[in-house]
Chains A and B, each alone.
Chain A
């Protein structure tokens, strides 16, 4: 296929007449036009997988909801971004994520910098209407510089994608099905023992929550190094 000339489409997003190239997604065109569509698994620069379902929109004439991050614009499209039904779906999707694992914001290293936390606030999720599942999740602290806390993971696979698509290491992948699915390093070996991990830290930077973090950030790790004050012991001697 040789598409040297790219078609320009006119479409309506949330009552705004917008123009976009035919190879652009609804999300891209919406963002260019200042229309907010919530996203979670998507990160500009990585491939789009349409997994978190936050960006679902209604497209006139289609009986299914379409993920804006992967749906290409078409001439004459009429897109609804916000209505009661979509708001309910997004709220429930966020609540599902909070209920699935143990997101205790108050004691999370990413408290205050978390995409999940912010999105909940932005979309008015001020409590979780479904029971928390409270699974017992592991924490992998084997890497000298980084920490993987599966309690906070929302399985967005940004880490998997950045590692494969940008760093080219493919250290991260997914293991297991359903709520038992987990991100793993090197065929489920401890991160610290990974032979493919280059230690670049890209996964930590793209992680939307506190699942992947740099060590030394948590309150308990902010240790004082008092050994550089040898005179403390000298003074104790003097005081005797």
Chain B
């Protein structure tokens, strides 16, 4: 594990195919956010106004599974520019709810969403929206993951603990507190 600098660490949070619940849980830290804010600089996140994933990120917390070509592109970019990659929450750790569509053929899924259940403009999109992958994957099927933080969502305390430990250069040990599902 790469030791993270004690001065303001460059932290990113990413939202791939997930419900944003992990980010809600992150915000649910309440006053501990202030503690964290003293130690980190949030360089990229759905919560801040950065458009491109920056270089030299110390810790990236990635929520969501790899479901589309865009996710696939992003996670590789993130991996290249990140020292410690944390799979945040069940979607990124196991595929979770987004992966439930994998049992059906992709064409059927598209048909269901954009045709059967659409009320106006029934058509399967071919442009602008990223193409979906046949299989929804957890992060580690595509890139190396350094820390797994399961939970749907992981509790605010667990997130705080994990980030704090990483900032101290330790691998967070969360067997007793974190599990799939909750």
Binding site for B on A (CB under 8 A): 98, 102-108, 111-112, 114, 117-118, 120-122, 124, 126-129, 131-132, 134-137
Q: Which of B2-10, B34-42, B99-107, B110-118 contacts A (4 or more CB under 8 A)?
A: B99-107
**Given A106-B97, A106-B152, A134-B135, does the pair A129, B140 have CB atoms closer than 8 Å?**
yes
Interface centre among A108, A114, A121 (most CB of B within 10 A): A121
Assess the B175–A134 pair: CB atoms within 8 A. no
**Given A102-B103, A132-B95, does the pair A126, B148 have CB atoms closer than 8 Å?**
yes
CA distance A136 to B90 in the complex (A): 21
Residue of B whose beta carbon sits closest to that of A135: B103
Assess the B103–A104 pair: CB atoms within 8 A. no
Assess the A124–B175 pair: CB atoms within 8 A. yes
Chain B residue numbers with a CB within 8 Å of A121 are 175-176, 178-180
Partner of A105, one of B99, B145, B176, B180: B180
Residue of B whose beta carbon sits closest to that of A99: B94
Chain A residue numbers with a CB within 8 Å of B148 are 126-127
B32-91 at interface with A (beta carbon < 8 Å): 87, 90
Tell me the number of A-to-B contacts counted with CB atoms below 8 Å: 75
Partner of A104, one of B100, B174, B176, B178: B100
Chain B residue numbers with a CB within 8 Å of A137 are 103
Query: How distant is A31 from chain B, measured CB to nearest CB, in Å?
Result: 22
How extensive is the interface on chain B, given as a class? Answer: 20 to 34
B156 within 8 A of A: no
Chain B residue numbers with a CB within 8 Å of A111 are 181-182
Partner of B103, one of A112, A131, A134: A134
Chain B residue numbers with a CB within 8 Å of A129 are 140
Assess the A136–B97 pair: CB atoms within 8 A. no
Query: How distant is A79 from chain B, measured CB to nearest CB, in Å?
Result: 25
Query: How distant is B65 from chain A, measured CB to nearest CB, in Å?
Result: 11
Assess the A126–B100 pair: CB atoms within 8 A. no
Assess the B179–A120 pair: CB atoms within 8 A. yes
- 5 closest A-B pairs (Cβ-Cβ)? A105-B181, A106-B152, A121-B179, A105-B180, A126-B148
Residue of B whose beta carbon sits closest to that of A131: B141
B155 within 8 A of A: no
